[in-house]
Every structure is written in structure tokens, then in C-alpha cells.
Structure 1
């Protein structure tokens, strides 16, 4: 049990740090409150700008709507604009009274005047006269031909020449409202009225609002100079195109909060520094007993059983106890260190992968230092990468037990080291995959000799073939003249092995072998596949020749394993799609029997020839099965003839149940029933399927129009063809052509893209 004095000493030592943390927490709390208040004030200021904008816009809109309504409905205004030259005094008086009513109803309106184009008369709420004598003539001439749909910018308006002008914004509306051919109505709103509206919203000692028209002119008088204001919000009205700018006057609450924020921030930093200084001081003072323990520990070891200070004292000496615990931890650390030395091979594999993987940040000096620690070959002037892959690895795993597999792999690795040493190369080999042994060869005298490298690889291959019960294929990368080129050389070796299915097993594959072969785009095989599957569905013998030609072209072309599998998958997909249209029984046979067996066989194929034999053999069996199905049953022969006629004459627009009943001298309803019972699908579905399959082929293999294709497959009307096509396929013919070609292009790029 620790002594009470020691406990009190530690408690009092760290108490100031606790006080500092609590104090700083209070400062942070008050700072958060102040910051929240500042944000709320800024939000309120933004709402002030929005409120001012909405207030002014609503007032102006109300005036605008009133002017439009009165210009359309008020008879006094209509009679004024319809009056002839000279006018009727009563009409003028009525118009003036109406203008006064409008001003009384909307106090923000300063003045209104009417302009009649026919006799150039101007009538306002205060005077009337000719345009030439009216002080606002220039404004009238400016807007006479271009009636503004919104309020004008701020301007000076003079009602009488003897009086000073007044700052106003004006609304100009034509009369009549739709044509504007007889005159115009001008409504002037004094800027002072807008000023009064806005002043009611805020306190000018705390905040401010500035309003600018579309030309950037100030509408309101500023109580404070601009330099003493800080802008926080800026909005633009979509109605008037005016800008509303608001903020706070310097020295207000926001600035005070900002200053307090800076002060609190400095106080917080000071508290943190003080806490760090105190913590360092306390730690140094309390570290002295630990230093004594370390000093004693370095001199001798004390058993855990001797942790009592004095016999019979009944009290545990905490320092001796800590010392004994440290002894125990030290012993465990030694055990971990010993285990670490035994697991050096993990570090070795890690270093190997860092060398062959792109993007690692391993430097040459780090490599040299780590190689020295792990007793590996030091970096050389140049390096070469080869990858040995066990052929038919599935059979290798099935023939040998796990122990035998490990023994054979060890033998392959050992012979690689031995033959490399005889050829003058230091080597470093690691199993980077279950079937692949990757080897780095170190050439200390210039660049690696490619001929010697090929001879070495061939000797490894031939020794394995003669002495082992399996063979290997070897991918060879280009010599790496610097460290970072090792990863590239490794990728080249892997890429070479991808062509093993085409070039053959138990051989060397170099970059020259790949470049010497003529590459063929995967897209070119798709047409052959569709044609062969189509011939298979129609029971034509040409499908075998077409598939033989397909595999022959694939063998001549330079395709990787992934590209070959993409082509084969497309073949299986096309075959399944065609058989799905032959009835439910054909589809069931394909999905439950043929496809699973064929897929399993393809998984165990290691060459194109194996794939060709597996696919053609299974298709021959499937062809016989389908033939037996067609010829079985009481009416199978008749239905077979009907199907053959439909497949040959599907382009005939008159092909129907009635047409077949006449040809076979049978009732149309009976033909329909017989066809459904024998084939599992309706006659019309079978006919549509054949026509649409041919239409799909023409859409993909030709550039013919939809109308032309519709006629070629038995539809006289392209609209009917498009409707049926979209109902069955789910998209229009044009969309199907575009989407399928995009899918085939993706398949081509995905399969033929080179690493």
C-alpha cells in the first residue's frame, strides 16, 4: 500500500494542472456563448437586409399592381387617354382626383402624371400642360418608346421649375396596358419615403442598411461614413434589381465580441503554456524515483519473491515491487525479441513485395540496409525479373498432398537458386502466389544479358520437365536498370504469363513473343459468335465450321486469358439467349444440364484446344437432344414442318394461324392449341421471337433504317414493329442498337485493355 505522504505529494503536484484545465474550460464555455451571440447577431443582420428588401419590394409591387389595375379598369384614366385634342375639363378633373386617391392610398407615392401622345398633353396631380413646357420632358422622351417593366434607377424629378428637384424612383406604364399606344403613366416614389420605411427596421447607431439601384447609385442617405461600417450581408432583389447591403457600425456589439474573442484566445494560450510548464516541472520532480529504479535495475536483478522490504514489516516497498515488475517485463521483451528473430522470413517477404509493387517509397539505401540485416543479396547494377508458373495447377493440387506440394515447391525454388548461381547470377525467389514463384536476378557487371537470361530460364524449364511430374511456364520481364524499374519488369513478366493459354504451356514467354504476334480486337469475334449461334438454333451444320474458325482466329490472335474468357462467356450468353426462345423444355435443359456441365469443363481447360473440344462436344450432345425433342410426340412432325415454314417465311407479312391452317389443311384454333402443347409457347410469340431476333441482328450488324429492317422481318408498318419491339425487348430499336453497341464496346475494352 502506498504511503499517505506519497499520495498527497502526487495529488498536490497535479492539482494546479486540474485548476488550469477547469479555468480554461470556463473560458472556452464563455467564448462559445459569445461566439453564438455573434453568429446570432450576424444572422439577425442578414434577416434585416431580407426584411428591408421584402418590405420595399412589396411596397413597390403594390404600387405597380395598383397602377396596372387602375389603368385597365378605371374609367377616368381610360377617358383621359381616349380624349381628343383639347380634352374635356371634367375628364381631366376626374383623372386628377383619381391620381390624388392613388397618392392618398399609397403614401410612399410622391407624384403621378399622365402623358397623352395624341395632343402631347401632360396631366399631373398638381398641374397640366404641354410636353415641351413640362420639366420632366427628357424622361418622357426617353421612356416613350421603351416602356420599362421595372422601376427606374434613382433620379431627380422636378414638378415645377421654381422648386428644387427631388430624388425619386419612377415606374412607367403604357396606356392602354397591352399596347401602350395612347400614352403613359409615370408614378414617382420619393427616396425619402423609402428611407422612412427602412429606418423603422433598425437602429442606425448599431447597424446600417445601404440600398443601391441597378446602376450602383446610393438610394439612402448614410448616417455614418462607409469606412466605419463592416458589411455582413449583401442581397439583390430579383424584382427591382436593387442591392441591399447591411452590417454593423464599428464599435458595436459584434466588434466588442470579436475583441473579447481575441483576448480570451490569448488568455487560453497563456493557460495552456502555463499548464505545460507546470506539467514539465512536476514530471521532472516526480521522475527522480523512477530514475533511481532504472539505476538499480541496470545494476542487478531482484526476484519477484524479494519484493518485501524487511522481514515482518508487513508493508510492500513500492519501488522494489515496480523493479520486480520491470524485470518481468524485460524477460517478456527478450522472448518477443527471440520470436522476432525467428520470424525474419516475414520481413524478407515484405521487402520482396515492396520491391515488386509499384508506388512503394523504398529507397536504395533502405533496401541496402534491410538486405544487410536480413542477409539477402545487396542491390546490384541491374536486375531481371522472371516468374515461374506451375502449369495445370488444379491437377497439381489434386494429385499431390499438401506436404508433397510444399516439398515439390521447395525443390523448384532450390533448383532455381542453383541454376542461377551457375549462370553467374545471385537470386532471390519468393512465392508471390500459390502457383507462381517470382525471382529477382542480380547482375553486378553491367546490364543483364538477355541471351544468358533466356538460357537460364530455359534450363530451369527443361530441368523441371525432365525431373518433375509437372511443367512450368516462365514469364520474363525486361532488365531493370534501376530500382524503381523492378516493379515494371515484374508486371511485364506477369503480363507475359497471361498469354500462356494462346502461346502454349511449358515454354518461355518474353516481350518479343508478345510483340511478334498480331493482335486482334475482341470485338471482331462477336459477329462470328452471333452467326454460329444463329445457325445452331436453325439446326444448320455450318455452326461447327464457324466455331472452328472462331477458335482458329483466337489462336492466331494475341489474346490474354481474361480476353479469351470474355469471348467464351459471350458465346455462352448468346447460346442461352437463343435457346430460351425455343421453348421452356429447351431452356430447362440448357440451364439445368448443359450450362453447369459446360462451365465446369471450361474451368479445368488450360488451352484453347481444350476449350474448343469441350464447347463443340457439348453443343453436339445438345443438338441431338433438341432434335429428339423435336421429333418426339404425336404431332411433332407437323409442328416441326410448321416451325420450319415459319423460320423460312417469317418475312411474309401474311404469316398467321390462318395462313398455316390453309397450308396444312387444319383448323386455325386447333393449330394454335397444337403448337402451344408441343412447343410450350404460343404461335404468335414464336413468330415474334424469330422476327425480333433477326431484327436485333440487323440492328447490330448493319446501318439500315428501322423502316427497312421492319419490312425485312415481316412488318409493313414501322410503328407496329417499334411498338412490339419495345414491348418485348423493353426499349425501342434505336435505343437497343445504341445500348448494345455500347455494351459490346465496353466488353471489347474490358477484355483487350493491356496492363
Structure 2
């Protein structure tokens, strides 16, 4: 392969460079896995801490609710307020109160150990016992760092308002533990001095620590809860010395949610309810456990990918160098070397292909630059009424990019005053500048306006409403307001005065020229009457010496009927009648001439071959001839509408006949060529000599199904006949009905027939 060796080596080198990418991707994947694993762990730990916080706050709220229930307990209020005359004690009341509070500890494990101290009796009540001397209670339950006297002073003697004493060592009937203490004086409005009663709830630290086991059990880390002063409330997996060292370290940010401290990821959240701080530590090696697994998998897969990729690169380098060399030979044959020696084959290809791309871009640029000219030419043709049918208008509007399809509105002519009869170079230059200023001012008003020049001192503006909007949304008052504002702006800024003349509204694109003609007549009237400002066609006094039926309207009416567009034809006729009845007062003679002109139009139309071959030719002709000019204009209009409907029906029938013949031709060709796997829409369109999109839409409209579905139905019917004959195998039948593979045939047959080909053949045999 000496001829292809250089291209081969370059391709192989490029494949090897590409193969390096998986290695880089593997490393990035490893780094990403660490980041993702860390993020997930932080998120899970924060979630777990939040759950522990919510549970703890809910339990503490229940403890507080318990004290509030005691505050409204009638029996306890009686005991608190009894006088202890003669040292008599209400034994029954105390016993009854003990029974009342016995059940509280069964619903909340934070209420397993609590007592109520009555100052007047100097008695401590617990859910199971009553101690008439506090020192007796102290013997069984006491803080190891709090003597009896200090305990009586700080716990029993002072007033407390929902106070929480942090974690302290505690002896519970000889068992060493740690507890936090919740204290509340009764009644709740006690402020200073000694209160009648004190409720003390002793919560075992192990109970609180159990709420943190979700983190420590899952990650093997530690967790700690502290109050707003930094005193420990709960602790798990770490001791007080390490926590104190962590808190005093200046490198540890107490406000940061997550941070690495030594070998642990420390997560910190703060409760908004009581300012307690929840911390959790996760060992770094636990975080990276999953990432290390991903690392091993990544490098294994990367190594295999490099090895396999190298083999595939060798194959593809050889395979892809062949067409490149073939392309090079073709390019050299077509363009030659011109005596130049390129550095390599790619430079040669790049140079010639760049020329092709440059030529294409130059052509696109020229077309783009010509778009304003195309748009201006379209508007000029539109207002001149040169389009023969509505379809032609819509197609030309789409090509010019005007967005006028389906629009309605008004046509206006804006004339720059003060330049009549002047035609030297300086005046023309000044008018050009004035027209540009006028156009820009119109665009700045923000209304949907299309504009084109009309002579040196006039522009034509189309005030349009888009499809789906009502004409009333831009009515005469709105346009008058816009033009008055425009005139004032032009005069104030540039000392330019204008006269605006507008025709009546057009309901479709084909009526734009009619509205334009009305605007011209209104402008002529304004010049004749020396009027300035804004003038509407309806405000002009039209002479009725002759009827309105211009040649362009007649041509458009003829074209519309030839196209079979009955609604558009009726609209044009209605416009003609309205112009001659609402805006003119025709004499009897003028009315007779107008009706004669209309009859002549339709008689000329009947000279067309399409109508002369129709069976109803004579009937339609007689109906036209029998129209009497003396009849009311309404009855004449109704008769002409019926004649137009019949003529359009003839055109539609002709079109349907042509469509039917085309469909039959398509069906016949498909029936003849269904066995060919290469039978495509393009080949069918080529056979019937019609565009692909046209026959696709036509077949769907006439038959109600897509051409591809029809072809598949033909193939399945033929396949069913061959299956019944039991002469060929399923694989042979698939090739005979136009399928490249039997698998595609089986799927199509089951989709259409509901059963597989084998099952269908078996059912026929049975």
C-alpha cells in the first residue's frame, strides 16, 4: 500500500490521538466521582442531622407541652395553693396527683424520669413514689457534681422558665449515666423568688444520643449536639476533650455547613428554634470508598478501550484512506494542480473545497442583500394588483418574507408637502432624506407597517393586523392617532409636513390594490380641496358620473374564477357592488352599462376551453344573457354568485378528474412495482411526472391514507396470497413482496394482520 501510506499514517495517528481522550475522560470521571460522592454524603448527612433535629425538637416540645398541661391541672393547683397549717399534709391529694401523672411517661421516652416539687409541702412527687423529704430523693437520684445543698438551691429553690441544664453526670439508683435537665416553675407566670411548684424532667443522654445513631452507624463517624453557649446536649462517637479541641481550633469555621477537618468531613447545622448546634463527622476514607471502586473500574475499562480502539483504528485508517484517495484523484482530474505542489493532500482538498464554500457564501450574501429589493418589488406588485390569485400572493409574500399572509388592514399614502413641481438634483436629494426620515419615524412607532416608495415625495404604507387579530384592534381611530403623532413629530424635529390619505379596510391580500386605489382617490381629493392632515376615503365626496369597474379588478375576478376560488370571487364581486352603491349614486344608464360590463366579463370567461367542453356551457351562457339590468342590484348579485359557483364547480370537477387520473396512475404503478425493494416516493413521482410533495399530499387527501401505508397494504395482500398457496417459504415471500430482510417482513405482517406469517399460514391450512 505505498500509494496510500501517507494518508493511512495520518489517519492512524489521528485515531490514536482520539484514543487518548478516554484516558483523560477516565481521570475526569474519577475526580468527578470524588466530588459527587462527597456531595451525596454531605447531602445525606445533612438530611440525617435534620431528621434528628426535627425529632429532638418535637420531643422537647412535647416535654414543654407536658409542663403546660400540669400548669392547668386542677388537682395540682389545689395542692400548690393549700396552706399547711398544723403541719397537716393532703395525703390523698398527693396520691391522686401521683396517679394522674403516672401515664405521661408511657407516650414519650423523654418523660421516663421526672418529678414535681411542692414547696408548701416540701415534697417531691414522681410517677411511682412521693418523697416527703427531698434528701431522700437525692439519695437515689443525684448529680455527681452537684451537692445536696446546691441542688436544693439551684433546682428546687429558684424560679425556672423552660430552662435546660446541659449534659451532667448523674447517678440513677447507683447506676452512673449522663443526663440533661428541663426545668419549669409553676404556675407559668412565676418570675422571681420561690414558686409554689417546680417540674423537673431528667432526660438520659443515651436517649438523645440514640437519635444520632443514624449517622454514626452508617458512616462510622461521630455526632454532637450543643446548646447556644456551646455546652454539650448529646454526644456519640467522640468525647468532650476532642469536641473542645475542635471548637477552640481557629482553623475550624463554626459557621460553615461542611468542611474538612483533619481526616473527617464535619457538617454543622443550627436550629432556628433554640439555637442548638448539630455537628456530624464522617471519616474521609468512607467518603472515598465508592470513588475508589469507580477508579478501578474506570482504568480497567479505559485500558480495554485503548487496546480495542487501537485495533479498530488500524482497520478504519485503512478503510477511510481509500475513499480519500479516490476523492483526491477526482478533484485533481476536475481542478488540476495548476503547476502548484501542495504540502499534502489535505491542503489540496481544503483549497478547492474552500473555493466552493466561498462561492456558496457569496451567493447567499448576494441573495440576502437583494431581499429588500424583492420585498419592495412584492409590495409594488401587490398594491398594483398584478397577482392573479390568492395562492400566488401567499407564495410571493413568503418568498419576500413580509409576513402578510392572512393579514387584513388599511392602505395609506403619505405625501411630503411643499415639493410639488420641483425636480432638480438638490430637491430630489432632500426628498430622499425626507422619505428615509419618514420611514424610520413610522418604524419607531412600533406598529406592524410595510412600506414602499411611490414617486419622489410619497410612500405607501400598509397598516396590517396579523392573522387571528381583528381589524378593529387597529381601527381608523388608532391609525389616525398614529399619523397625527407622526405628523407632529416630523414637524417638531425636522419641519416636515405631510398629508396622509387612506382607503377602506381590506379583508384579504387580494383587496390591497383596491384599498390602494381608494387611497389614491382620497389623496387626489385632498390635493384638489387643499386639505392637510389625515383624510379617509369615506370622507371624500365622489362624483357619480361613471361606474367603478377598473380593468385590474376584472382581471383579478377572471383569475380567481379560473382558479376555482369561489369565496374570493364573491368577495371581489361584493367589493364592486359596494363601490357602485355605497360610494356612488349611479344613474339608470350607468347601472345598465355596469351590468353589461359584468355580463361581458362572464361571456369572455366562457370562451375558455375548460368551460366550452362542459355540459352546462349553454345553460350557464343563457343564465348570463337573461340577467336584466332593470332588476334590483341585490337579485343581480345573487344571480351572478350562483353563476360563479357553477363555474367554480366546473373548475373543481376538472381538478378532481385530473387528481383521480393521477391517483389511478399511482395505484397502477405501485401495483406493478410493489415487488421492488427500491420503490420510493421519488420513483413514483418521477413516473407520474409530478413533485414528490404534491403526490404525497394529493394521495392523502383523496384516499385518506399515506402512500407508504398503501404500498405496505398491497405488499401484505400479495404476501397473504402467497402464504395461502403454500408454494414458497417465508423468506422467499419476503423478497418477492419487496423486503430486503425477512425480519422486517415478519414485523410488518404482524403489525398489519395481527399474526405472524407462520401463524397465518397455519390457520389457513387448518
TM-score by length of 1: 0.37
TM-score by length of 2: 0.37
